[in-house]
Amino acid sequence: MPMIPLGLKETKEVDFREPFKDFILEHYSEDAAAYEDAISDFMDMRQAMRTPVRSSAGVALLFKYYNQLYFIERRFFPPDRSLGVYFEWFDSLTGVPSCQRTVAFEKACVLFNIAGIYTQLGAKQDRSTCSGLDGGVEAWLRAAGALRYVLDNFTNAPSVDLAADTLLVLAALMTAQARECLFEKLQLQAGEAVPELRRAPDLCLDLAHEAAHLAHTYRQLYDKMQSEGVFNYVPYSWVSLVHVKTEFYKALAHQYCATGLLNMPASSRSPSRLASLYDADTHLDNGSSISPTLKDADVDWIALGRAHLAEALTLYEEALRLQRMCRELRGKEAISLVVRAQLERAARERGAGAHNDNDANDFTDLIDAPNVQPSSKFQLALTQPDFAQHRVEDLFKSLGPIAIFSAKRHWSAPRLVQLQKYRDGSRRIERPRNGNVEDYEETRNGKHRSEKRDRSEDNSTYYNQIIRSDEKYSNEYEKKKLHRVTKQNGVYINSYNNNNYEYHPKVLDYDTQNEYKIKEGKLENGVKECNGKVKNGRRKDPLRRAASEYNVSNAKNEDEGFGFSVRGDAPVVIAGVEPNSLADIGGMREGDFIISIGDTDVKWSSHDEVVRLIQEAGDTLTMKLATPMDKSCLKASPETPRQSNSNQGSVSAASTASSGSTAVTARSSARRAPSWNPFRRHTTRDNSSHRGSHTSNIIFR
């Protein structure tokens, strides 16, 4: 019996060059000329996809194009506006064109063509061999799985062939044809095992169940095709062929049943065996008074077998009549040859049975053969499309990680930030504005613009003065040597020249007489009263470590950094900016993405690579930064920190340092006052969580 393959959907050529280049320039703020090769490769892939070869290579090409559409949709098709690209496809059943601007329509059409190629592969298999039939079963099930995937994942189809009712019918058609190939394989194996089936009546009854199950499958498919949304669009030849197969395999089930009943040994003729052949409550349904129940033990097996042969002959004639009624099937000689061959075989068996049965009389023909119970020992499962088998590389990977740099997210245009440190203690920030470079310089030990002391500046001199004034009131003033306060890793600590202590930003600094104790009226905010005068409650003993932290020092400048920390990777994000530091004055903000460092693009770089590049920059650091406009880009909580391949860390202000723990960085930043941000929206939750996380306290609008 012939099979029904699907025709492929056709599409028109689409020019992506100008829309993609405009979007790259507008949305990604990058040079569109650098992506001409990628655009050309994608257009060549789509051009080849329009006419795929009918083989596994064509299926692979369609899968690769489908997987590439995943990246294209997220890169260039924003959900809030149209890119100006329209996909036009022709209906495979009606030929009517449909045009949409969504990539989902393109994906559905590609999947439909994948199913179409699978059907064509299944139809051209050699069904005279077991290997060919196995290939046919696999191809039909893959086609049904692809159609079912389209049905489950795509809605509001603009064309008839992608409508839900049509896809349901087509998937059922492919499943029925897969079971037909399976039945033909069972027939082939039975013929190889037993040259004459009449010698294996049990095998004949099993084949009768399988044929009845196949006929029942085609009957259900035929009923679905009669629905209003499908019957007017599905070719009439398909409906007629399904109807022909329904009658043909039903006749074949009666024929196999008759062969098994007529050749069943008398010792094996049990009522239970006969009852299992039909439904549990089935009886001979001619309505006459001589119709016994199948549960009775006095059923004439020979008469019942002859009734099945008569029913088979009637159904074969009906199948031939249905073929003649369809103009397209009328010329299909393969159908008529198969049906007539089985018809002649059933007629010979009936004639041989009547000749051998001398006691047979014409009254046995009054028995109507009951329907064979449809059942199968094999369960077919649809094969879903395996997209992971055909992996592709993102053609526009250089735009950045697709989770961040996509069409649905927004960020500011990349801005250039140049930070420069000098050995003489001054620092310089260059920020291009409107094509001009404005220089900002501050002298560390010189006079500030304002005479008012800024507590966030380098206040080593101020703290030294406090210590000297405090020590005048101590009993050990003459014995103690004045020690200078220096800044190490962003924290002010004492310098002990006589002892080789290792300094660390995390230190405990308590007075010897008031360790961990605060007496009412005596110690307040780290300052206590002594003889009516204010005295600093600072401990002068050697400092000790409070926590361990992995630091990477800038070998070129151990004393001063740029004043910012980083976290994450691909892309690396600014985790924090110290107030009035080089980074703060240069316009760096918390949450900014690092686009490039110098001439090196770092959108795909890991945390360690970015830290290394910053360290290698020395006294001059040139970076491109972009500020995200989406709140979700900066959303993070202390309970669920962002996971990455490398440890999150920071580049500290005192040295370009990498920290191996986000929590340590958070505690370090909690000691300094947060910078004023006019765009920050203060909430109760924000105030309560400020000390707990440095990644969720600023929301850019």
DSSP notation for 12-34: -----HHHHHHHIIIII-S-GGG
Predicted confidence (pLDDT) at residue 276 exceeds the cutoff of 50: yes
Predicted confidence (pLDDT) at residue 24 exceeds the cutoff of 90: yes
Closest C-alpha among 59, 65, 64, 73 to residue 23? 73
Spatial CB neighbours of 93, under 8 Å, sequence gap ≥ 6: 160, 161, 166, 233, 234, 235
Report the pLDDT averaged over residues 667-689: 42
Q: Which of 1-15, 82-96, 279-293, 567-581 has the lowest mean pLDDT?
A: 279-293
E strand intervals along 463-563: 485-488, 491-494, 507-508, 523-524, 527-530, 533-536, 544-545
Residue 634: pLDDT band by 50, 70, 90 thresholds? low
Spatial CB neighbours of 252, under 8 Å, sequence gap ≥ 6: 211, 215, 312, 342
E strand intervals along 557-668: 564-567, 573-577, 593-597, 600-601, 620-626
Q: Tell me the pLDDT of the chain averaged across its residues.
A: 74
Amino acid identity, position 316: Y
Residue 369: helix, strand or coil by DSSP? coil
Residue 501 is predicted with a pLDDT of 40
Predicted confidence (pLDDT) at residue 672 exceeds the cutoff of 50: no
Do 323 and 283 form a contact (C-beta atoms < 8 A)? no
Report the pLDDT averaged over residues 70-91: 92
What are the CB-based long-range contacts (under 8 Å, 24+) for 234-238?
234/93, 234/166, 234/169, 235/93, 236/326, 236/328, 237/326, 237/328, 237/329, 238/4, 238/173
Domains of the chain: 410-439+549-688 (2.30.42.10), 460-503+507-545 (no CATH)
Residue-level length of the chain? 701
Q: State the burial class of residue 694 (Cβ atoms within 10 Å of its Cβ: 0-12, 13-18, 19+).
A: buried
Residue 35: pLDDT band by 50, 70, 90 thresholds? very high
Report the pLDDT averaged over residues 285-291: 40
Highest mean pLDDT among 137-146, 426-435, 676-685: 137-146
Closest C-alpha among 478, 525, 513, 483 to residue 501? 483
Residue 504: pLDDT band by 50, 70, 90 thresholds? very low
Residue 245 is predicted with a pLDDT of 95
d(Cα 308, Cα 372) in Å, to the nearest integer?
10
Residue 180: pLDDT band by 50, 70, 90 thresholds? very high
Residue 299 is predicted with a pLDDT of 67
Residue 528 is predicted with a pLDDT of 46
pLDDT tens for residues 378-401?
Answer: 899 999 999 999 999 999 999 999
Which residues, listed in sequence order, are joined to residue 97 by a DSSP beta bridge? Answer: 90
Do 556 and 619 form a contact (C-beta atoms < 8 A)? yes
